[in-house]
């Protein structure tokens, strides 16, 4: 294989740049021509493709976001869009692809592979950590630390005013960011889509804390929580706890930006090089991952569809530690 292209797609994640750098430098090391595709699948369709050099990835290992830009492409979900993308890749003589992104990216890559058999290897990049086949995804650690920093700050003001704060974190349908930032931030309660927590449970837990002389409380709510958004849950709780001052903070996209942590930079470098070397060694239609510190490859199909459950020990621990 002599010509490989790399792209980032879907929601960006801190560490994607470190991953791109590893792919590019790895390709140059292995004497493969490397091309960047801007704006993910949209850029592939438009032919927004350029040759990359070692210099094009200088000074990016520490930067959040993605120098290749990203997009969620509607057109690539159509057979016509994918055909245009394939024609562009053929025009550029691309023989293999490295797709950096989350489940939407891998779903697109898998459909594309099944149609055109262009060898593709994925590197899991999403703050949600919701992909099977890797213990951690690129960006998750940084997002948790960003959320944690915010929770620490909110705790200060919650404490000064004896308030209850509902803090909503990202994660789409997964509670990974919520459970980890909740434990790290000493939350009284963490509400995740993976377990049932009713509004009555929330009220009971808060009251239990006050009976034990707690004056302020933090409830971390995953955005995919079944009971609703943090605002909706806070409104329901308020109906029953009129005497308490409640506030809601939705952390939002702040969790997607910022300098990647050391953990994410190293993980991204390993996954980027692992994806590239896998591709050159004949891997296709798979995602690179790290499980128990070992590089592994998992079929896109499994990476997207298999469950990666939250560690039940963590869920149990929140309840014990919040006493």
Q: Which of 12, 42, 128, 141 is catalytic?
A: 128
Tell me the window of 22-30, 123-131, 233-241, 297-305 that interacts with ligand F6P (CB under 6 A).
Answer: 123-131
Tell me the window of 44-52, 85-93, 165-173, 269-277 that interacts with ligand F6P (CB under 6 A).
Answer: 165-173
Backbone angles phi and psi of 74, in degrees to 5: -80, -40
Tokens at residue 218, please? 């933090």
Handedness of CA 212, 217, 222, 225 (dihedral sign): positive
User: Is residue 171 part of the contact set for ligand F6P (CB under 6 A)?
Assistant: yes
User: Is residue 127 part of the contact set for ligand F6P (CB under 6 A)?
Assistant: yes
User: Is residue 128 part of the contact set for ligand F6P (CB under 6 A)?
Assistant: yes
Question: Contacting ligand F6P (CB under 6 A), which of 73, 126, 145, 146?
Answer: 126
User: Is residue 30 part of the contact set for ligand F6P (CB under 6 A)?
Assistant: no
Tell me, yes or no, if 173 is annotated catalytic.
Answer: no
Contact flags string 204-223 toward ligand F6P, x per CB under 6 A = -------------------x
User: Is residue 65 part of the contact set for ligand F6P (CB under 6 A)?
Assistant: no
DSSP letter (8 states) at residue 253: G
Give min distance, CB of 224 to ligand F6P, in A: 8
What dihedral do alpha carbons 307, 313, 314, 316 form, nearest 10°?
Answer: 120
By residue count, the chain amounts to 323
Residues contacting ligand F6P: total by CB under 6 A: 10
Give min distance, CB of 75 to ligand F6P, in A: 16
Question: Contacting ligand F6P (CB under 6 A), which of 256, 264, 268, 273?
Answer: 256
User: Is residue 69 part of the contact set for ligand F6P (CB under 6 A)?
Assistant: no
User: Is residue 101 part of the contact set for ligand F6P (CB under 6 A)?
Assistant: no
Q: Which is nearer to ligand F6P, 184 or 257 (CB)?
A: 257
Distance CA 219, CA 241 (A): 15
Question: Contacting ligand F6P (CB under 6 A), which of 170, 233, 234, 237?
Answer: 170
Distance CA 43, CA 311 (A): 38
User: Is residue 175 part of the contact set for ligand F6P (CB under 6 A)?
Assistant: no
User: Is residue 298 part of the contact set for ligand F6P (CB under 6 A)?
Assistant: no
Task: Evaluate whether 88 touches 39 at the Cβ level (below 8 Å).
Answer: no
Task: Evaluate whether 94 touches 35 at the Cβ level (below 8 Å).
Answer: yes
Distance CA 285, CA 151 (A): 39
Other C-beta atoms closer than 10 Å to the C-beta of 198 total: 12
Say if residue 247 carries a ligand binding annotation.
Answer: yes
Say if residue 24 carries a ligand binding annotation.
Answer: yes
Of 43, 94, 102, nearest to 73 by C-alpha is: 43
Tokens at residue 225, please? 């929580």
Q: Which is nearer to ligand F6P, 217 or 261 (CB)?
A: 261
Count CA within 13 A, CB hemisphere, residue 321. 16
Q: Which is nearer to ligand F6P, 195 or 229 (CB)?
A: 229
Of 43, 98, 107, 50, nearest to 75 by C-alpha is: 43
Task: Evaluate whether 192 touches 222 at the Cβ level (below 8 Å).
Answer: yes
Tokens at residue 86, please? 């394939």
Residues that bind ligand F6P (CB under 6 A): 11, 102, 126-128, 170-172, 223, 256
Instruction: List active site positions.
Output: 128
- Binding positions for substrate are 126-128, 163, 170-172, 223, 247, 253-256
- Binding positions for ADP are 21-25, 155, 186-188, 212, 214-216
């Amino acid at each position: 294989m002599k010509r490989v292209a790399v792209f980032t797609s879907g929601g960006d994640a801190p560490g994607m740049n470190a991953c791109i750098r590893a792919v590019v430098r790895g390709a140059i090391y292995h004497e493969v021509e490397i091309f960047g595709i801007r704006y993910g699948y949209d850029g592939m369709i438009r032919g927004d493709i350029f040759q990359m050099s070692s210099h094009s990835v200088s000074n990016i290992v520490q930067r959040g976001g993605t120098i290749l830009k990203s997009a969620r492409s509607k057109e690539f979900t159509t057979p016509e869009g994918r055909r245009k993308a394939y024609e562009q890749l053929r025009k550029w003589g691309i023989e293999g692809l490295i797709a950096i992104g989350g489940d939407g990216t891998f779903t697109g890559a898998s459909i594309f592979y099944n149609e055109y058999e262009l060898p593709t290897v994925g590197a899991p990049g999403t703050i949600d950590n919701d992909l099977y086949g890797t213990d951690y995804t690129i960006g998750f650690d940084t997002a948790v630390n960003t959320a944690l920093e915010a929770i620490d700050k909110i705790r200060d003001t919650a404490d000064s005013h004896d308030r209850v704060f509902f803090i909503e974190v990202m994660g789409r349908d997964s509670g990974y960011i919520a459970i980890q930032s909740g434990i790290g931030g000493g939350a009284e309660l963490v509400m995740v889509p993976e377990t049932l927590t009713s509004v009555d449970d929330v009220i009971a837990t808060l009251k239990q804390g006050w009976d034990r002389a707690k004056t302020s409380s933090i409830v971390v709510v995953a955005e995919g929580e079944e009971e609703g958004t943090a605002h909706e849950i806070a409104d329901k709780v308020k109906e029953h706890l009129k005497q308490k001052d409640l506030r809601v903070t939705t952390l939002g996209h702040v969790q997607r930006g910022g300098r990647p942590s050391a953990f994410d930079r190293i993980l991204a470098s390993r996954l980027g090089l692992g994806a590239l070397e896998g591709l050159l060694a004949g891997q296709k239609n798979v995602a690179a991952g790290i499980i128990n510190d070992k590089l592994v490859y998992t079929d896109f199909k499994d990476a997207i569809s298999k469950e990666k459950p939250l560690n039940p020990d963590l869920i149990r621990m929140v309840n014990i530690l919040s006493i």
